[in-house]
Amino acid sequence: MAIVAPSILSADFSKLREEIQMVEKAGSEYIHIDIMDGHFVPNLTMGPCVVSSIRPHSKAIFDVHLMIDNPEQYVESFAKSGADILTVHYESTKDMKALINQIKSLGVKVGITINPPTPVEVILPYIDDVDMVLIMTVNPGFGGQSLIEECLDKIKFLREKYPELDIEIDGGVKLDNLDKVMESGANIIVAGSAVFNAENPEEVVKAIKNR
Ligand code: DX5
Ligand code: ZN
């Protein structure tokens, strides 16, 4: 069974607690939280105070995706705010090894991710040190974009090499491309607009989970 990680970027921020509880009740084990700083990506979202505000209202795993410059400066605040996994971009740091160790020392899990133009090989030296790899299938910054199919090859490549690795896919996943997504070998599925813009979000969560 796949793990569903609804991205609250597409949720109604005026009722974030209800939105999270709704997808959790439908069977989402993870809540994907997109942090954007207006520098690393051309959009702004939320900071640690939002994460800590929703933390008491959810038992789900908070899967925090940091699309920010200088992640070293902020990982501690996000860990304290209640993140369970902090995923950082290969492109956002000069010293990935040090950043991975810093996150681990905060007592949270660590994920590594790459943008669509970045070749998958760059993360191979870090695979043994991380808890999860996230493959971006859109250029980060906005929800509701179309999945870039070539990026699925990165997931296939990793799945062949690492049968047990947690591989998360993020960007453009919809019910109508779910077959391809699952065939690629991803086991943690981020879905933002597909869930929160649906007429019946619970059904979408269940459909992804049970595929
Ligand atoms: C994009 C974010 C994604 C986004 C996914 O920069 O990292 O998590 O919210 O949204 P959808 O599923 O709508 O592509
Ligand atoms: Zn994301």
For tokens 């008491």, the residue is 56
Q: Name the DSSP class of 57.
A: G
Burial-class residue 169 by CB neighbours within 10 Å (0-12, 13-18, 19+).
buried
61/82 Cα distance (integer angstroms): 9
Q: What pLDDT does residue 132 have? A: 98
Q: Please choose from 193, 195, 197, 204 the residue to mutate so as to test ligand 1's pocket, defined by most ligand atoms within 8 A of CB.
A: 193
Q: Return mean pLDDT, the chain.
A: 98
Q: Which tens digit of pLDDT belongs to each residue from 168-209?
A: 999 999 999 999 999 999 999 999 999 999 999 999 999 999
3-state secondary structure of 73: helix
Q: What pLDDT does residue 202 have? A: 98
Please give the positions annotated as active site. 34, 170
Q: What pLDDT does residue 5 have? A: 98
Question: For ligand 1, is residue 16 a contact (CB within 6 Å)?
Answer: no
Q: Which tens digit of pLDDT belongs to each residue from 72-115?
A: 999 999 999 999 999 999 999 999 999 999 999 999 999 999 99
Question: For ligand 1, is residue 114 a contact (CB within 6 Å)?
Answer: no
